[in-house]
Structure 1
Amino acid sequence: MFTGLVEGLATVESVIENGPGVDIAINPSGHLDEIESTKIGDSIAINGCCLTVIRIEQPQADQSLWVFQAGSETLSKTNLGTFKPGTAVNLERSLRPTDRMGGHFVQGHVDAIGHVDAVETEGEWTNIWFKVPAALTRQMVPKGSVTVDGVSLTLVNVEAERFSVALIPHTLEVTTLGNRSVGETVNIETDIIGKYMEKMLTGITEKDSAN
């Protein structure tokens, strides 16, 4: 479980094919506190996608690399398949029971890939529209929550196949969203509450139809 509050930016060090998937090495050095406390088996959200640390490498005395595996299902549903050495990513370690819940409950289970549809600048703020499948917008409401590349955001406008968010200067500075351009892909996870509500209402509708 995560909060969608990105802890820091990191860099993809390498992407190596491994069967139907890939091994992804991430260099978090200098961007996260307590890097040394991370261990094999830990869950880390990379651009909002929950992955497991399978190996920790130390090519240099002052450098640690976290290695993850992403299978074909993950590569088909997320933008991890676009990663290459040098790609900047958002990182968040899993939520601890004593942590503050500043964002919203994020599972790290990406629902679909979205695309940047428009970028509108208003002074130091930026409004971004994301185009997504209509199945996802049915689970969204204005002022509700959504996760974009692992960042917990508040929905501003919701249309049939797209939604918008307003990004403050801090978010633009400390996440990858400040560098997104029209057409680029992002990982989308809708609020778990919206998923359950849609499931419940669909079940009620189907029951009424059957009667």
Structure 2
Amino acid sequence: MFTGIIEEKGEVVAIDQAGGGALLSVRGPVVTSDAKHGDSIAVNGVCLTVVEVKDDVFTVDVIKESLDRSSLGGLAEGSAVNLERAVRADQRLGGHIVQGHVDGTAVLLSRDPGESWDDLRFSLPEPIAPYVAEKGSIAIDGISLTVTTVDDDSFGVSLIPTTLKLTTMGERRVGDVVNIEVDVIAKYVERLVVRR
């Protein structure tokens, strides 16, 4: 489990294609400081398992399913990525419950820079639309954010200077594809209601 509070921006240092999947190596001095084989690290919001740590670089296997359902297949050497280690039971839950199980992708439709924050608008794919609510939580590339507006085919978020500086969201351009994870509680509530 994760919180959506990004610990650092990492850099992809190698991608080796293997059997429909990939072996991804990422530089991240903060997240590798105590990482070991078998640990979970979210890369742009996708929970991945560490298979090797060497100096400040960790390597993870990325299966075809993850490449197909997320934006990870579009990464290249030098790409910046958001990194977060799995939360420990004795830590504060600063964002919201994020599983690292991406529900789909969205496209950045517009970016409106402000004096103190930026307003961003994203496409809202039909399969995830029922779970997105104004003032609700959403994870975009692993970042815990609050939905500011929502309509039939798009939603908006506002980003404070800290988020713009410390995550990849400050570098995102119109047309970029991002990973989306909706609030897991909304999915469970729907399942309970539908079963009744």
Identity of aligned residues (%): 39
What whole-Å deviation, never above 9, does each CA across 1:56-104 have from its counterpart, x for those lacking one?
A: 23xxxxx431001111100000010011110000000001011011100
Bigger-Rg structure (1/2) = 1
Q: In the TM superposition, what is the alpha-carbon distance from 1:162 to its structure 2 partner?
A: 1.4
TM-score, with normalisation over the residues of structure 1?
0.90
Q: Could you tell me whether the CA contact under 8 Å between 1:48 and 1:151 is conserved in 2?
A: yes
> Does 1:107 find its partner at 2:107?
no
Gapped regions of structure 2 (runs ≥ 5): none
Q: In the TM superposition, what is the alpha-carbon distance from 1:199 to its structure 2 partner?
A: 1.9
CA distance in 1, matches of 2:118, 2:26: 28
Q: In the TM superposition, what is the alpha-carbon distance from 1:9 to its structure 2 partner?
A: 0.6
Match of 1:44 among 20, 41, 56: 41
Counterpart AA for 1:47: N
Q: In the TM superposition, what is the alpha-carbon distance from 1:161 to its structure 2 partner?
A: 2.0
Superposition RMSD in Å = 1.2
What whole-Å deviation, never above 9, does each CA across 1:139-189 have from its counterpart, x for those lacking one?
A: 121111000000000010111221100000110000000111111010000
Counterpart AA for 1:89: V
CA distance in 1, matches of 2:159, 2:74: 24
> Does 1:20 find its partner at 2:20?
yes
Counterpart AA for 1:55: E
Counterpart AA for 1:126: D
Match of 1:79 among 71, 93, 103: 71
Match of 2:87 among 79, 89, 95: 95
Q: In the TM superposition, what is the alpha-carbon distance from 1:125 to its structure 2 partner?
A: 0.8
Q: In the TM superposition, what is the alpha-carbon distance from 1:25 to its structure 2 partner?
A: 0.3
- 1:169 corresponding residue in structure 2: 161
CA distance in 2, matches of 1:163, 1:183: 15
Q: Could you tell me whether the CA contact under 8 Å between 1:137 and 1:159 is conserved in 2?
A: no
Counterpart AA for 2:123: K
TM-score, with normalisation over the residues of structure 2?
0.96
Counterpart AA for 2:149: N
Counterpart AA for 1:27: R
CA distance in 1, matches of 2:124, 2:168: 19
